[in-house]
């Protein structure tokens, strides 16, 4: 009798343990992540940003092809393509979507009000209508901001520090970028104290950049500031070549311009931002709501001086400015 009871007990214990063992052997659920980028797939800068994003995910143990599936779409600067790709990603019903810059975020916001979205490189998410507030976004969108509008004044001050003889400054901006108006509005009051005459050029296409640079360079003592935009990033080599032809001093918003031969850049470290964005993807995949994840502001800025370009322009960079630079390109 005792033996029979022991057998039944053992049998019951095995039956209870079997579902646990079966559950333990079940494969981990693969989570789906959509990514919409504004740049072209063959753009080295776009690949560097995505690599940083993917590295951030892997550090948090999300690996594409193992426990995550990442679907990429590259709009290559085409607004209509971004709209199409946003709809495609939403149709895949991913767990979360990452938007690289405002050009990707806007069509995604129109495409879904329920799928969580994490953005990077958006200067004014509240003014753009993407979130209710930075502290409590309130919807399905959160992420990482890029610039405060007051950075525009710093670009102007930097240009005057590098090229004190500049008396005319032109701002090249993309009218389709919703942040352009905010930068121009903030910069304008600070121009009289720096003794410069300011003009603006709305540019998007290759021919528009060329015409604007040629027209502005027709008179002496000029300098340019390129406001942040997808179109400027895409056309960066054309811009750098055009201003070099006219020997114009220029301040840029991103490091990639200075490394491409531009005179100087001051701005957010976008690679670091994309890596940080992976942290919010991780938190959402683990159950956090984007409505309650505060929008985070940029924390890492970098000043890059291209000394080789400065010498070609006959400019003497102040030693104090070189000492402040995060990188000096010889």
**CA nearest neighbour of 152 among 179, 128, 119:** 179
Q: Where are the domains of the chain?
A: 31-147+269-300, 151-268+302-329
Check if the beta carbon of residue 237 is closer than 8 Å to that of residue 260.
yes
**Looking at residue 191, what DSSP letter applies?**
T
Tens-level pLDDT at each residue, the chain (330 residues): 445 455 444 445 544 454 554 444 456 789 999 999 999 999 999 999 999 999 999 999 999 999 999 999 999 999 999 999 999 999 999 999 999 999 999 999 999 999 999 999 998 999 999 999 999 999 999 999 998 899 999 999 999 999 999 999 999 999 988 889 999 999 887 677 788 999 999 999 999 999 999 999 999 999 999 999 999 999 999 999 999 999 999 999 999 999 999 999 999 999 999 999 999 999 999 999 999 999 999 889 999 999 999 999 999 999 999 999 999 999
Check if the beta carbon of residue 112 is closer than 8 Å to that of residue 130.
no
Q: Is the domain 31-147+269-300 a CATH 3.40.50.2300 member?
A: yes
Q: Which tokens go with 252?
A: 């840029």
Going from the C-alpha of 125 to that of each of 135, 155, 247, 280, 326, the distances in angstroms are 12, 22, 36, 16, 28
Q: Model-level pTM?
A: 0.88
Paired residues of 171 in beta bridges: 200, 225
CB atoms within 10 A of CB 26: 7
The alpha carbons of the chain give a radius of gyration, in whole angstroms, of 25
CA dist 48 and 58 (Å) reads 15
CA dist 36 and 239 (Å) reads 25
pLDDT for residue 77: 93
Phi, psi of 143 (to 5 degrees): 165, -145
Q: Give the β-pairing of 168-173 and 117-122.
A: unpaired
**Three-state DSSP state, 239:** helix
Phi, psi of 29 (to 5 degrees): -65, 130
pLDDT for residue 203: 96
The reply to whether 151-268+302-329 shares the fold of 31-147+269-300 is yes
**CA nearest neighbour of 298 among 324, 325, 267, 326:** 267
CATH code of the domain occupying 151-268+302-329: 3.40.50.2300
Phi, psi of 194 (to 5 degrees): -95, 0
* DSSP, residue by residue, 125-177: TTTTTS-S-SS---SSEEEEE---TTHHHHHHHHHHHH-TT--EEEEEE-TTS
pLDDT for residue 194: 83
Nearest-10 Cα torsion for 167, 173, 175, 177: -140
Q: Which residues contact 11 (CB under 8 A, 6 or more apart)?
A: none
Check if the beta carbon of residue 305 is closer than 8 Å to that of residue 322.
yes
């Amino acid at each position: 009798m005792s033996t029979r009871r022991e057998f039944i007990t053992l049998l019951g214990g095995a039956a209870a343990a079997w579902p646990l063992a079966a559950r333990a052997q079940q494969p981990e659920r693969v989570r789906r992540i959509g990514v919409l980028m504004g740049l072209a797939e063959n753009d080295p800068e776009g690949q560097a940003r995505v690599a940083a994003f993917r590295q951030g995910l892997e550090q948090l143990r999300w690996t594409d092809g193992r426990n995550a599936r990442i679907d990429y779409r590259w709009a290559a600067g085409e607004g209509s393509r971004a709209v199409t790709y946003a709809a495609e990603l939403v149709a895949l019903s991913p767990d979360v979507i990452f938007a690289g810059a405002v050009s990707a975020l806007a069509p995604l916001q129109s495409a879904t009000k329920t799928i969580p979205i994490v953005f990077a490189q958006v200067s004014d998410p509240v003014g753009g209508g993407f979130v209710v507030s930075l502290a409590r976004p309130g919807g399905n969108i959160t992420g990482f901001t890029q610039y405060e509008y007051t950075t525009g004044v710093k670009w102007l001050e930097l240009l005057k520090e590098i090229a004190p003889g500049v008396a005319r400054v032109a701002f090249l901006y993309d009218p389709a970028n919703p942040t352009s108006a905010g930068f121009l509005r903030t910069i304008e009051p600070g121009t009289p104290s720096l003794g410069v005459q300011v003009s603006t050029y709305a540019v998007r296409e290759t021919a528009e950049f060329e015409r604007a640079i040629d027209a502005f360079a027709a008179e002496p003592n000029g300098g340019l500031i390129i406001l942040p935009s997808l179109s400027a990033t895409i056309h960066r080599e054309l811009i750098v070549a055009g201003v070099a032809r006219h020997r114009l001093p220029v301040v840029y918003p991103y490091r990639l311009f200075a490394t491409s031969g531009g005179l100087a850049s001051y701005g957010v470290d976008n690679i670091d931002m994309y890596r940080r964005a992976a942290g919010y993807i991780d938190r959402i995949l683990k159950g956090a709501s984007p409505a309650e994840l505060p929008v985070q502001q940029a924390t890492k800025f970098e000043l890059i001086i291209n000394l080789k370009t400065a010498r070609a322009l006959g400019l003497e960079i102040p030693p104090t400015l070189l000492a402040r630079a995060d990188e000096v390109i010889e």
